[in-house]
Every structure is written in C-alpha cells, then in structure tokens.
Amino acid sequence: MFESDEQKKRAELIITLLAKLYVVLELSVDNCPVCHRAFDHDLECPISLAWSLLTEEQQGDARTAIHALALSIGSDESLADRLVH
C-alpha cells in the first residue's frame, strides 16, 4: 500500500492528528469541521475513521494527552459536562 517507510510514517502521523482532533471535538460544543455534525460524526468522516483505527489503548493515550494539554493551558472548561441539565 505504501511505497516507502516515509509514506507510512506520514500516514500514521495524519491518523494520529485526526484522532486527537476527535478528542478535541469531544470536549467542544462546536460541530465537526469536516462532516458538520455535533457530538457524533458522519460514517464517512475522516476524523471518526481515524479514531476507529486506533486501539483502545491508543484512544486512551490520545484522550489523556489532550486532557493534559487542556489543563496545562488553563482550559478547565474542557473537562466540564457538555450536556445541559
């Protein structure tokens, strides 16, 4: 599928970045910038597809990294409940 190791590494990087964007969108009240849906994604959304390619451990690592980044920049709201009570 990939002609070189460099292409494989680039594809892995793209998947990782899209998966992290998935976590950012989980923490946001904004719609997905790709499929324009809120709180879920279209079945063909590349962000959702990238997320589904990660193992559960990788998904946990991505969530942990994004949450840590949000806390480090003082975005405590990112951990708030998105549902209106």
Note whether residue 76 is domain-resident: no
Identity (one letter) of the amino acid at 75?
S
Q: Would you say residue 85 has pLDDT above 50?
A: no
Q: What is the dihedral of CA 44, 17, 15, 23, to 10 degrees?
A: -50
Note whether residue 85 is domain-resident: no
pLDDT in tens, 44-60: 888 888 888 889 998 89
Note whether residue 42 is domain-resident: yes
**Domain enclosing residue 60, as ranges:** 5-67
Which two structure tokens, joined as six digits, stand for 39? 């709180």
Note whether residue 81 is domain-resident: no
Which two structure tokens, joined as six digits, stand for 75? 């975005």
| pLDDT interval class at 78 (50, 70, 90) | very low
Instruction: Name the more confident of 81 and 59.
Output: 59
- pTM higher than 0.75: no
Note whether residue 13 is domain-resident: yes
Domain count, the chain: 1
Question: E-strand spans in 41-84?
Answer: none
| pLDDT interval class at 76 (50, 70, 90) | low
C-alpha to C-alpha distance for 20 and 58, rounded to whole angstroms: 10
